[in-house]
Structure 1
């Protein structure tokens, strides 16, 4: 979803679970804001629900291997093609004690993906979320933290939706007050 008009100054206030709210300001507009779960580090074909991959390998008893994974990676070593995978319930590729990636299976065919097969349990790697602010497809800003992430956007001198603009003596001459807080204070004063 796009926010603000060209030339507007943009103020995005975001907050991750159990953290202080943070404000990002930009002179670039219009902007788009996306949020979502963070893929585990080093993944490219990640899907938390999982999917089945099928490939031929000399390591398979009958030449073909089928496994359900949340991610896979192809690589070449010594002229041979290999595949490594993150299996259901795991959050990273297997590593050796020295920190290098563990050897994968030798493959002798293209990988076939079946998105109709899923893991029995959905993987949730550390429950991390991210917020990304973009303009014309270019990333302006990105942050990560514990899920969930919430945000508001204010364009120019306006307050975000759900906030009232009130004059005040400090810069910039106004403040934005949450309408829900105003209702709560009003109800407290009435009683």
Structure 2
């Protein structure tokens, strides 16, 4: 579904399961928003039980880094070797706000894998959801968390559906209060 007009600032407030709401603002509009089950993006190194990786890196204390992961990926940029990984409890490689894969650590030694070490808990991919904010089919933002995921959108200086715009003295001169909060306040006054 498409939200906001060309040139509007889009404010998306989303919430996974019982987590706190998070706000993402896009200066690009119109936007489309999709929500769906998260699909794990893994490599041939994936193991749901997890395993420990150890490697030398200038980013590590004492030049060594050690993590328990469920997947890793080695890659080269400009002649330098890097590694990225999926930590225990996650379902995909970390991503930048634009949806591209986040960079990893520089690796300066052969990778040592210890399969006797496992994640404390096995990630259950079934309960992971994903929200994506797109413009003309290009991902502006994506996030994953526990299902369900809910969201609302405000365009420009308007409040999202289910909220009332109230003038206030702080920037930007108004605030959005949910109708549920107003109803709760009225009930407490009774």
Give 1:32 shift. 0.5
Q: What's the offset of the Cα at 1:126?
A: 4.0
The residue aligned with 1:177 is 177
Structure 2 unpaired stretches of 5+: 44-90, 92-112, 116-123
Name 1:35's counterpart in structure 2.
35
1:16-51 deviation digits (Å, cap 9, x = unpaired): 1122211110110000010111113339xxxxxxxx
> Where does 1:79-118 land on structure 2 (aligned, <5 Å)?
none
- Map 1:1-191 to 2 at 5 A: 1-42=1-42, 125-190=125-190
Larger Rg: 1
User: How many matched pairs?
Assistant: 114
Q: TM-score if structure 2 supplies the norm length? A: 0.56
Aligned partners of 2:41, 2:139: CA distance in 1, in Å?
A: 19
Q: Considering only aligned residues, what root-mean-square deviation do their CA atoms show, in Å?
A: 2.0
State the alpha-carbon separation in 2 of the partners of residues 9 and 125 from structure 1.
Answer: 33
C-alpha displacement of 1:98: 7.7
Provide the C-alpha distance between the structure 1 equivalents of 2:38 and 2:114, rounded to a whole number of angstroms.
26
Whole-angstrom CA distance in 2 between matches of 1:17 and 1:28 = 27
Normalising by the residue count of structure 1, what TM-score does the alignment of the two structures yield? 0.56
Where does structure 1 lack aligned partners over 5 or more consecutive residues? 44-90, 92-96, 100-123
